[in-house]
Structure 1
């Protein structure tokens, strides 16, 4: 393995919880569907195992938890998603088996088909050894707190699974996107919208054993948390959080990655809702270009409010608590 110690300053051997892959089966499906750009204009990025490992080595990333980014398989009709999802999950498992210490993966689910999603959860965890699952923030316009998805969350909770949330376009993107790429505004807003839905449907409170990772520094949650919590006092909203305090307490136990979110203004807001123990490193590569990944790392290193221990915990230790397979390999190779 190439040197992964170049970053220094408590950020050596990072575990990247927000990394993406485009295996050939997925890239070919996008091409067949005519998807040359994604999410309001982004070109489909190039990805390969070799390029991923080289980027990781240059940026001090020891392990990356790969997942699909937006639009996942939502560009297909729901009835056509199951087969592609299985191919993607098998590709993720193959990559993990080939490079067990370097890659983990979050399995994709064929939502909104709940019975198929439950079957894929069992297959991904019990047969393929997935490290968690990835869920887009909405499924064809249905948000994750929708009662139809309750069996999926109940099963993920039973398994105490890691659930990585990833934003995608809202159903009304053409009307509200202002002609600009969705990651600028709509991705953080859609992340916040689905967290509110999970809070106010009481899904997060009911399924407290699953470990949820919120991307991009909590998106708009730090700015809106007081407003979101205050609505718990309105008796005509049912279901709802039991109190304002419950909103803060629930958000405090979620995990948050810092992909594209190390700027001091953003990071200080995240620290108001999450302790250091819940903050994780993320790159968002290859959708975030390597120069942006490196800049994010340098910005965190330069944050004078973080101690060396804080940086080490964010870079690696918090993730090792979430991913026992990676932790065991790291201990064996120490």
Structure 2
């Protein structure tokens, strides 16, 4: 099944999605199917996830008996859910190679990367919908997209094995981890993670696709073999396969649950794919900013086989609120 959260005539609703456009995705929402079947009494997919997989399945199975709602072309698609947490991993070796060369001017992949599927926590309040505008982050002039797929947790778990973790993933969605590369490069010299470099926008959408729908794409090694495509202003700049990840989603969930909980609605991003999954990787490979950095008016379209398409346009953002530099303080003691 496919679940959407949308706004129509000022009202927020959750629905299943039917039709050819819902299944395969389209850069043009008006092209093909995409009929919404509202779930009565539900305005939050997160609440439905917290009710459990059986409740989600029953709600979805009941929608054929509900009158058709609007077509997706008639609504504003919101993020499928408001996640309580977002963990973003870095599981594509090719991406690490290119971005490290671009941002840190270093070659290769750090040995520590191979030890475990590293992630950082990013801003759950920054999520936007499949076709929402993206403001340039305050103080940035080097905006970039990042093509990812995210798993969504449906069942609480702790200290899971990869085998157990499969039953805790309820579905998948597209994730665009918008990045202010100039801010990111400066703040990571402090030795923590990106903060304001990743804080303004993160696209989730267009739908939550339940895990069973993507099982036919699973290869013999346990990876989902989905085609990924990134375009800027209609020109394809990147293509990859999700199966080029170095860890499966189940292994990522197991690592995330080590010593703590994953809970319904938690989002786990795959990390950016290789071969043009972001501009910074291409800049590192080519040694120049080609394609150029994103600017207001540019539209980024990401398509994932079996899930759909998101397409966001960059718009001017607010200026930065001034904050002083650190003060050298006398080190007095109590």
Give the TM-score normalised by the residue count of structure 1.
0.25
> Which structure has greater strand proportion?
2
> Which structure has greater helix proportion?
1
Give the TM-score normalised by the residue count of structure 2.
0.25
> Which structure has the larger Rg?
2
